[in-house]
C-alpha cells in the first residue's frame, strides 16, 4: 500500500504491484519482444543476404537494442504504462505522484532495465524486495512505480462503503434540499468525487481518515454538521448526490428550454414556408372577350321534314251558292 498526494492535496492509497505479478508480466513481455526480435532478424537476413560479417553483427546488435530498449519504451509511452504483460495481469506503470508516465520516464526505465535484468535479473529482484513499494532501479531513477489497476473481488469488498441507501436519502431529504452549496469550492467537490470513486481501492483506515477530514471540511462550508451515527463517507456521498441532483435539474431545464425554442422556431419556419407557398399560387387571369371555358356545341333538334307542296287546288265553292260559274 502506498500513499500518494494528488494535485488537490488529497492523500490516496494505491495498491502497488509486488514481485511475483511483476515478474510474470515481465516474462510475458520478454516472450513478445523475443518473437519480435526473431522475426526482424529473419526478415533482415532474407532481405539483405550479401552483408559482411561486421555489418551483419552491427545490424543484429541494433535490432537487439531496439527490441530490448526502444520498443518497450515506445509501448509504455503510447499505452501510458500498459504493456501486454501488464494488461494481462492488471498492472500499470505510473509516476510517483500517481499521474501517467511520459516518454522520458519510459526511456529511463528502459535504459536502467539493462542493469536491472542483467545477471539473471538479480538487481531488479533485490531492489524490489528492499523497496516498500516494490520498485526496481528503473522505477527509482525514473520516478515511477507499478500499481494494480484490476483488483480481485475480495480486495474490492474489503473496507468498501456501500452506496447511500434510499431510506437514508429520504431521511436526510429536508436537510439536503435546504443546504447552501455555493460556498463549497470546486477543488473540494473534485476531491470528494475522487475519494468516493476510489474508496474500493483504499484500505479501511485510509478511507475512514479521508472521509472524516473531508466531511469536516464540507460541514464547515455548508453549515450542516455530520448527523450522529452517520459515516463520514455516507455524508459525503449524500451531499455529492444532492449537488448532482441540482446540476441535473438545471441541465434538464436548460435543455428543455432549448428544445422548446427550437420547436417554436421550426413551427415558425413551417408557417412562413406555408404562407410563401400560398402566395405563389396565383389564380388564373380571365381576359375580356374570351370565354372562360370551352364553348359547348349547341343542341341539335331534329324536326320532321315539311310535306312538299302539291299543285294549287281550286278554291272550294262557297257553301250555299247556286249560281252559274263562268269557265276559266
Q: Which among 184, 205, 202 is positioned nearest to 194, based on CA atoms?
A: 202
What does the pLDDT read at residue 205?
Answer: 81
Distances (CA, A) of 89 to 20, 23, 28, 151, 278: 11, 11, 10, 10, 71
- DSSP states of 202-218 as a string? S-HHHHHHHHHHHHHHH
Distances (CA, A) of 160 to 99, 156, 176, 193: 24, 7, 24, 15
Query: How many whole angstroms separate alpha carbon 266 and alpha carbon 271?
Result: 9
What does the pLDDT read at residue 303?
Answer: 53
Query: How many whole angstroms separate alpha carbon 138 and alpha carbon 148?
Result: 18
Q: Which three cell numbers stand for residue 65?
A: 537494442
pLDDT in tens, the chain (328 residues): 444 444 333 334 467 888 889 999 999 999 999 999 999 988 888 877 777 788 888 888 999 999 999 999 999 999 989 999 999 988 999 988 777 899 999 999 999 998 998 888 899 999 988 988 889 999 999 999 998 876 554 444 443 444 677 777 777 878 888 888 888 888 888 788 777 877 776 777 877 888 888 888 888 888 888 888 888 888 888 888 888 888 888 888 888 888 889 999 999 999 988 888 888 875 655 555 555 555 555 555 555 555 555 555 555 555 444 555 555 5
What does the pLDDT read at residue 131?
Answer: 86
Cell 543476404: give the residue. Answer: 49
How many CB atoms lie under 10 A from the CB of residue 14?
Answer: 19
What does the pLDDT read at residue 15?
Answer: 75
Enumerate the H helices of 178-307 as residue ranges.
186-197, 204-222, 232-280
Report, in angstroms and rounded to the nearest whole number, the Rg of the chain calculated over CA atoms. Answer: 49
Q: Which long-range contacts (CB under 8 A, 24 or more apart) does 160-168 make?
A: 160/199, 160/200, 161/199, 161/207, 161/211, 161/231, 161/233, 161/234, 161/237, 163/237, 164/234, 164/237, 164/238, 164/241, 168/230, 168/234, 168/238
Amino acid at each position: 500500500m502506498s500513499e500518494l498526494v494528488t494535485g488537490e492535496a488529497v492523500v490516496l492509497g494505491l495498491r502497488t504491484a509486488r514481485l511475483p505479478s511483476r515478474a510474470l508480466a515481465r516474462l510475458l513481455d520478454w516472450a513478445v519482444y523475443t518473437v519480435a526480435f526473431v522475426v526482424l532478424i529473419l526478415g533482415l537476413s532474407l532481405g539483405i543476404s550479401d552483408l559482411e560479417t561486421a555489418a551483419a553483427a552491427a545490424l543484429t546488435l541494433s535490432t537487439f537494442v531496439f527490441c530490448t530498449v526502444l520498443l518497450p519504451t515506445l509501448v509504455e509511452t503510447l499505452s501510458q504504462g500498459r504493456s501486454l504483460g501488464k494488461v494481462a495481469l492488471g498492472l500499470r506503470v505510473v509516476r510517483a505522484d500517481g499521474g501517467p508516465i511520459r516518454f522520458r520516464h519510459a526511456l529511463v526505465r528502459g535504459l536502467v532495465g539493462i542493469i536491472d535484468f542483467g545477471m539473471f535479473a538479480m538487481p531488479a529482484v533485490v531492489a524490489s524486495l528492499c523497496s516498500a513499494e516494490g520498485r526496481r532501479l528503473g522505477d527509482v531513477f525514473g520516478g515511477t512505480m507499478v500499481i494494480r489497476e484490476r483488483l480481485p473481488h475480495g480486495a474490492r469488498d474489503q473496507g468498501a462503503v456501500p452506496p447511500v441507501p434510499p431510506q437514508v436519502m429520504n431521511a436526510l431529504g429536508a436537510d439536503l434540499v435546504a443546504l447552501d452549496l455555493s460556498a463549497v469550492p470546486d477543488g473540494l467537490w473534485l476531491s470528494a468525487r475522487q475519494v468516493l470513486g476510489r474508496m474500493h481501492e483504499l484500505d479501511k483506515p485510509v478511507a475512514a481518515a479521508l472521509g472524516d477530514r473531508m466531511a469536516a471540511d464540507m460541514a464547515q462550508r455548508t453549515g450542516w454538521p455530520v448527523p450522529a451515527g452517520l459515516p463520514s463517507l455516507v455524508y459525503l456521498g449524500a451531499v455529492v448526490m444532492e449537488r448532482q441532483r441540482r446540476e441535473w435539474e438545471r441541465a434538464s431545464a436548460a435543455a428543455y428550454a432549448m428544445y422548446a425554442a427550437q420547436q417554436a422556431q421550426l413551427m415558425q419556419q413551417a408557417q412562413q414556408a406555408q404562407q410563401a407557398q400560398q402566395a405563389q399560387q396565383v389564380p388564373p387571369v380571365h381576359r375580356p372577350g374570351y370565354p372562360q371555358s370551352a364553348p359547348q356545341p349547341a343542341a341539335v333538334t331534329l324536326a320532321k321534314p315539311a310535306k312538299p307542296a302539291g299543285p294549287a287546288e281550286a278554291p272550294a265553292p262557297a257553301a250555299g251558292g247556286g249560281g252559274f260559274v263562268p269557265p276559266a
